[in-house]
Structure 1
Amino acid sequence: MSTTSQAKAERLRQSKGQQKIACLTAYDYPTARLLDEAGIDLLLVGDSLGMVVLGYPDTTHVTMQHMLHHVAAVARGNTNALVVGDLPIHSYDSPAEALENAQLLVDAGADAVKLEGGVRQAEKVKAIVDAGIPVFGHMGMLPQRVLEEGGYKKKGKSEAEYEAILEGCRALENAGVFAIVLESVVPATAQRLTEQLSVPTIGIGCGDNTCDGEVAVITDLVGGYPWFVPPFAKPQANISSDIAQAAVRYKGQV
């Protein structure tokens, strides 16, 4: 792992309480280049690509080969942002496997890696961090467990759920993560967690101004996947309509 990658991760960690962190997913070279040139702080090559790029019903179909292919493309388009690659489901079932696959993502161009879960992942996080690879945590709703949980459900609705999420976040903090994604956590709970943790929280589906930063799926932001738009998404464009209209005009010209 390069000192540049570690410095990028440390800079984001130290930004807690100083400035908001803007994160977006990216899955290909041109998107990564555009987002990097726009000044986005962190580019997440998420396993969400399974749904919005590859057409699977959820993220549990994504493999390491998928992730390596897309991480490499994003890395080629990036200069300044921190590039984080998701460890897909069953690629980190043990500390040794987690480290091996984290290194593969780094070799493909990632600056850091992300995995889902708290207490039971702490040993794996520590193994990766001890090897010099920054790790991004992920708590709240965990998409890789969607089949176990029977759907996507809001988290942190009760005091017991808050305590469980906090326990997981603390375990990740102690293991050395530089930041933690909070996904689909109710706003009041997300804000409490943000106030309790020493590392930045990056929210998605957690309400406005409850976390130290935000992450959005790029296709949600630009209107590139019209077949499903999460209720918390805030589209800033509608490229799917533009593409369809361009194709119709092209067909007419031909």
Structure 2
Amino acid sequence: MAGLVLVVEDEPAIADLIRLYLRKDGFGVHVEHDGAAGLDAVRRLAPVAVVLDVGLPGLDGVEVCRRLRAADDWTPVLFVTARDDEVDRILGLEMGADDYVTKPFSPRELVARVRTVLRRSGTGAPREEVLRVGEVEVQVDRRRVRAGTTEVALTATEFALLAHLMRAPGRVYSRDQLLSAVWGYTASSGARTVDVHVAQLRAKLGDASPIRTVRGVGYAADAQ
């Protein structure tokens, strides 16, 4: 079995569809239909990933994710959202989501996104790989990041994005190149996702952030 995925979705038909496709792909699946129960299930079951509907009754998906991250729980989270224009708000505001899909979505695409998020959160990188640019150090094998003397907690996606940039200091990557390398897909609508994650990284790394914007092109990691 590929691990247990928690699905928190209040529409039974959608929850059943997600469960069917995840099980076909070898995952165990546990379903909850409201935010409070979903939050409890993350703590109780320790899933490998959470597929989390944003528009849940009561405790919505954004608040569930906020509480997880506040408790230093960095289980990969994939949001399911009804509107694409919610993405900046959802992925911004230090919520810590790793990816999202917009309804209506392809179940196969959702499963592929879950797989990609899990690859990013895994430990398949070479042992003892340490990346340094300026004051930022990334210990890839231990999945630890330091900005100066401060250890910084990152989501799986933030970690993968920072490591990708820091493996080639000075190289400028376009948003499409970053989408392909880190998220595993390319789409013009995904450019905002890159920008939001870069903004989150800069906020977390503070003045030590090595990420430079190359206007009209993309981003690079440079020593300050």
TM range (shorter): 0.3 to 0.5
Higher percent of residues as strand: 2
**Which structure has the higher relative contact order (CA within 8 Å, separation 6+)?**
1
Taking structure 2 as the reference length, what is the TM-score of the superposition? 0.32
Task: Return the TM-score normalized by structure 1.
Answer: 0.29
- Which structure has more helix as a fraction of its residues? 1
